[in-house]
Amino acid sequence: MSKTKQTHVPVLLHEVLDYLAPQAGKSFLDLTAGLGGHAGAVIELTTAPGRTTLIDRDPEAVRVLRKKFVDVEILQSDFRSALEKLARQGKRYDIILADLGVSSLHLDSGLRGFSFLRSGPLDMRLDANQALTAEKIVNTWSETDLADILKGYGEEKKSRAIAKNIVLNRPVHTTSQLADIVAKSYRFRSKIHPATKTFQALRIAVNDELKQLAHSLPLILEVLAPGGRLAVISFHSLEDRLVKNFLAENSGTLDAQLQILTKKPITASASEIVSNPRARSAKLRAAVKIKTRPL
């Protein structure tokens, strides 16, 4: 149960609770527990910390979670590996949540290298034990490979110009150096900071975020109990497309395993966006696992 007061503002919290419908005694798996904002609210309603598993890849987030929750299973792991383990153990959950991406823990500190607004090392690892960093990608990948990830993961229109400028200005060691190089690749100012898409693309590449999600979706379906509910919040169109297609492929037929609860993705209200700008690009999709039919 919760030991300390919550300070983190979780995105689309009311909507998540509506779709997950937590009730006393239900088991709960949070694949991206972060600072435990959503998890705390779900556990308050399931009142079943002993039937709860919280996962996060980031050791710092896990430290926060361990302080905040007792009697809860907390795993420091990427969710793909954790799901493989839980599936092997035959675990099943009534409620599963994935709130993808990064948290304020990553964006608020320059030291983690996720923010172009704060100077720091070009790191961007969610788990500091892994070898690949943004600095390694920026300084060792070919111009073509850099342009490909900027376009593929960042949908960056200036991918070729930025990749060229990065290669010309190597070595690049800090977030502010990289943000300057990207800004100089733009002749005109856009509504968003010019480095937004480059930083997003690098973060996705460093943490292999799309493969993590693609490989995990079938495992999520496996560990979701019959009648169980799933909610996924994504912040990137490529992630949302993976979720949307997976839900569509597993619903709508006589032998389908899922029933989709959100015809269209749920997005944040204008007032939530004002109080929490990160909610701007959030998309929530939810589904329920169909109970096994009698033969």
Ligand X SMILES: C[S@@+](CC[C@H](N)C(=O)[O-])C[C@H]1O[C@@H](n2cnc3c(N)ncnc32)[C@H](O)[C@@H]1O
Comparing CB distances to ligand X, the nearer of 36 and 194 is 36
Question: Strand 224-234 vs strand 283-289: parallel, antiparallel, or unpaired?
Answer: antiparallel
Question: Minimal CA–CA distance to 39: which of 84, 8, 60, 63?
Answer: 8
Find the DSSP H helices in the chain.
13-20, 37-46, 59-68, 79-88, 104-107, 134-140, 143-154, 159-168, 175-184, 196-207, 209-223, 237-249, 270-275
Task: Name the site residues for ligand X (rule: CB under 6 A).
Answer: 8, 10, 32, 34-38, 55-58, 61, 78-79, 99, 101-103, 126, 212
Smallest gap from residue 84 Cβ to ligand X (A): 12
Smallest gap from residue 17 Cβ to ligand X (A): 12
Q: Distance between CA 134 and CA 123 in Å, rounded?
A: 5
> What is the CB neighbour count within 10 angstroms for residue 191?
5
Smallest gap from residue 247 Cβ to ligand X (A): 19
Comparing CB distances to ligand X, the nearer of 29 and 195 is 29
Comparing CB distances to ligand X, the nearer of 4 and 140 is 4
Question: Strand 52-56 vs strand 28-30: parallel, antiparallel, or unpaired?
Answer: parallel
Smallest gap from residue 265 Cβ to ligand X (A): 16
Comparing CB distances to ligand X, the nearer of 79 and 116 is 79
Comparing CB distances to ligand X, the nearer of 26 and 38 is 38
Q: Distance between CA 137 and CA 127 in Å, rounded?
A: 16
Q: Distance between CA 31 and CA 36 in Å, rounded?
A: 11
Comparing CB distances to ligand X, the nearer of 102 and 163 is 102
Smallest gap from residue 67 Cβ to ligand X (A): 13
Smallest gap from residue 81 Cβ to ligand X (A): 8
Q: Is 65 left (phi over 0), alpha (psi -120 to 50) or beta?
A: alpha
